[in-house]
């Protein structure tokens, strides 16, 4: 390992060694104006020799252009999985295309004090919010701030908020119609813990209500259970559901760990999927859906699109604070993995 030089080389060091002026070095770097091949060559040699690394934060200070944004990814009860990574990577890729770095910030949604520190320290030029609540304290706080931000997800009153979100109002009907077309008339919904619903978590609230509305229209009965996000809770939930409502022919899931338990319990009871019970699962990634036995048919948002568009929205707002508020809804995508079939005859 080479011994560490005492301090990092600066543009001035490079300029001196190359025998040119400071700004020439800058321009050689950015290519913002023509440089003769010869001086460019000298500059590059000097940079290499000094191990010169431009200091992006100083550049950002001087140019007043955005260089660093954060994605607020509150890793709450459920953690981060590969499906979330689709968002994250898409957003980050989009940022890098624009020469902006994106880092993740993982504090709890409710930790407004930490958010305040992040913002008031002026460490980032913009923020993307995820896991929006219907009433979201972060949004309230950030609107009192000059920091540009957009959301993946939305609040109840979101007129003033730029966001992209999955069109959850279409999720429920998509599931109901699919199952109803297959002849199912009595189904179970294994949803998320009641705290999550009560805290006003948009996806669940919107999906549940669109599902119930459409079920009513199609004459379908829905028995809902709010299960904790673990395997055991899923087993217990489905055991009880099937005991109390033997007419159930399909389970709609919105809770990945619990649905593992549901599948376990069905297998333990000797019920086959999809011959005896059909399964549809909201919002999980292909990886999660393929992981279980059997694989699950899913209805979800289009992977990276949300992240990509969100970053584009943020960049627009950072570049031009007067750019219009945007609301974008991404339609759901259903992937059939064979876990649904015609309803068992009653």
Partner DNA sequence: CTGTTAGCGCATTCAC
Partner DNA sequence: GTGAATGCGCTAACAG
Q: Which residues of the shown chain bind DNA in the complex (CB under 7 A)?
A: 7-8, 10-12, 19-24, 26-27, 29-30, 32-36, 38-40, 53-55, 58-59, 61-65
Q: Is 33 or 55 the residue whose CB approaches a second copy more closely? A: 55
Q: Does 238 bind a second copy (CB under 8 A)?
A: no
Q: Does 48 bind a second copy (CB under 8 A)?
A: no
- Residues in CB range of 229: below 8 A, 6 or more apart: 77, 78, 192, 193, 255, 256, 257, 258
Q: Is 81 or 195 the residue whose CB approaches a second copy more closely? A: 81
Burial code (b: 16+ CB inside 10 Å, e: under 16) for 283-301 equals bbbbebbeebebbbbbbbb
Q: Is 7 or 243 the residue whose CB approaches DNA more closely? A: 7
Neighbours of 96 (CB within 10 A): 12
Region near a second copy per CB under 8 A, out of 77-85, 299-307, 329-337, 338-346: 77-85
CB of 112 vs DNA, minimal distance in Å: 22
- Identify whether the C-beta of residue 231 lies closer than 8 Å to the C-beta of residue 274: no
- Contact of residue 291 among DNA, a second copy, none (CB under 5-8 Å per partner type): a second copy
By CB under 8 A, name the one of 32, 121, 324, 346 that touches a second copy: 121
Instruction: Tell me which residues in 152-191 interact with a second copy (CB under 8 A).
Output: 160
Q: Is 14 or 174 the residue whose CB approaches DNA more closely? A: 14
Distance, in Å, from the CA atom of 9 to the CA atom of 295, rounded to the nearest integer, reads 55
Q: Does 264 bind a second copy (CB under 8 A)?
A: yes
Q: What is the largest CA-CA distance in the chain?
A: 88
- 341 CB-contact burial (10 Å; exposed 0-12 / middle 13-18 / buried 19+): buried
By CB under 8 A, name the one of 267, 327, 331, 338 that touches a second copy: 267
CB of 11 vs DNA, minimal distance in Å: 3
Q: Does 243 bind a second copy (CB under 8 A)?
A: no
By CB under 8 A, name the one of 1, 219, 324, 345 that touches a second copy: 1
Q: Does 141 bind a second copy (CB under 8 A)?
A: no
Task: Please give the size of the binding site for a second copy, defined by CB under 8 A.
Answer: 64
Q: Is 141 or 333 the residue whose CB approaches a second copy more closely? A: 141
Distance, in Å, from the CA atom of 229 to the CA atom of 170, rounded to the nearest integer, reads 24
Neighbours of 14 (CB within 10 A): 27
Q: Is 118 or 299 the residue whose CB approaches a second copy more closely? A: 118
Handedness of CA 155, 101, 300, 259 (dihedral sign): negative
User: How far, CA to CA in Å, does 330 sit from each of 19, 186, 199, 317?
Assistant: 55, 29, 23, 20
R_g over Cα of the chain: 26
Alpha helices in 218-304, H assignment, sequence order: 231-244, 256-268, 286-291
Residue 285, SS3? coil
CB of 85 vs a second copy, minimal distance in Å: 5
Distance, in Å, from the CA atom of 89 to the CA atom of 295, rounded to the nearest integer, reads 25
Residue numbers at the binding site for a second copy (CB under 8 A): 1-2, 4-5, 8, 51, 53-58, 60-61, 67-68, 70, 73, 75, 77, 79-82, 84-85, 88-89, 92, 96, 101, 103-107, 114, 117-123, 143-146, 160, 230-232, 235, 257, 260-261, 264, 267-268, 290-293, 321
């Amino acid at each position: 390992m080479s011994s560490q030089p005492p301090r990092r080389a600066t543009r001035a060091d490079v300029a001196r060694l190359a025998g040119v002026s400071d700004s020439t070095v800058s321009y050689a770097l950015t290519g913002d104006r023509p440089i003769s091949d010869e001086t460019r060559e000298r500059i590059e040699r000097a940079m290499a020799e000094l191990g010169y690394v431009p200091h992006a934060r100083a550049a950002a200070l001087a140019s007043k252009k955005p260089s660093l944004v954060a994605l607020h990814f509150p890793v709450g009860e459920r953690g981060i999985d590969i499906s979330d990574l689709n968002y994250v990577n898409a957003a980050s890729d989009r940022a890098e295309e624009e020469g902006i770095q994106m880092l993740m910030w993982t504090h709890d949604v409710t930790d407004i004090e930490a958010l305040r520190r992040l913002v008031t320290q002026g460490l980032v030029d913009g923020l993307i919010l995820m896991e929006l609540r219907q009433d979201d304290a972060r949004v309230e706080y950030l609107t009192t701030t000059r920091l540009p931000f957009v959301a993946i997800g939305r609040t109840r009153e979101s007129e003033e908020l730029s966001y992209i979100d999955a069109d959850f109002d279409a999720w429920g009907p998509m599931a109901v119609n699919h199952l109803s077309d297959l002849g199912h008339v009595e189904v179970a919904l294994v949803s998320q813990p009641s705290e999550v619903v009560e805290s006003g978590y948009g996806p669940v609230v919107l999906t549940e209500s669109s599902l119930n509305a459409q079920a009513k229209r199609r004459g379908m009965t829905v028995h809902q259970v709010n299960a904790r996000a673990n395997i055991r809770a899923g087993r217990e939930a489905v055991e009880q559901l099937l005991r109390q409502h033997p007419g159930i022919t399909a389970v709609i899931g919105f809770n990945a760990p619990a649905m593992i338990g549901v599948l376990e319990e069905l297998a333990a009871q000797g019920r086959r999927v999809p011959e005896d019970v059909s399964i549809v699962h909201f919002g999980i990634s292909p990886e999660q859906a393929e992981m279980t036995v059997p694989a699950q048919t899913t209805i979800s948002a289009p992977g990276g699109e949300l992240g990509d568009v969100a970053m584009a929205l943020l960049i627009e707002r950072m570049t031009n604070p007067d750019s219009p508020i945007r609301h974008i809804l991404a339609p759901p995508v259903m992937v059939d993995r064979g876990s649904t079939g015609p309803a068992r005859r009653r």
